[in-house]
């Protein structure tokens, strides 16, 4: 999942829970590295530790 955070289309700081919210493209690849599908995901990331709290697909 770290590659999704390298090119987020949206990044927002949520002060109430000290997290960063991202919307970024996520790619499903086969064993050879070919992209099979790409879809947007929303991620919540702890600001201090950079741990991913949750990630889920968003509407296409």
What is the Cα gyration radius of the chain?
A: 12
40, β-bridge pairs: 25
pLDDT tens digits, one per residue of 1-58: 555 566 777 789 999 999 999 998 888 999 999 999 999 999 999 999 999 999 999 9
Task: Determine if the pTM surpasses 0.95.
Answer: no
φ, ψ of residue 31 in degrees (nearest 5): -60, -25
Non-local CB neighbours of 48 within 8 Å, separated by 6+ positions: 18
> Domain segments of the chain: what residues?
2-57
pLDDT computed for residue 49 by the predictor: 94
More confident residue, 21 or 59: 21
């Amino acid at each position: 999942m770290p590659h999704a955070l390298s090119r987020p289309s949206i990044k927002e700081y949520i002060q109430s829970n000290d997290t960063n919210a991202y919307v970024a493209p996520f790619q499903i690849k086969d064993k050879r590295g070919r992209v099979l599908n790409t879809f947007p995901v929303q991620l919540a990331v702890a600001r201090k530790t950079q741990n991913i709290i949750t990630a889920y697909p968003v509407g296409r």
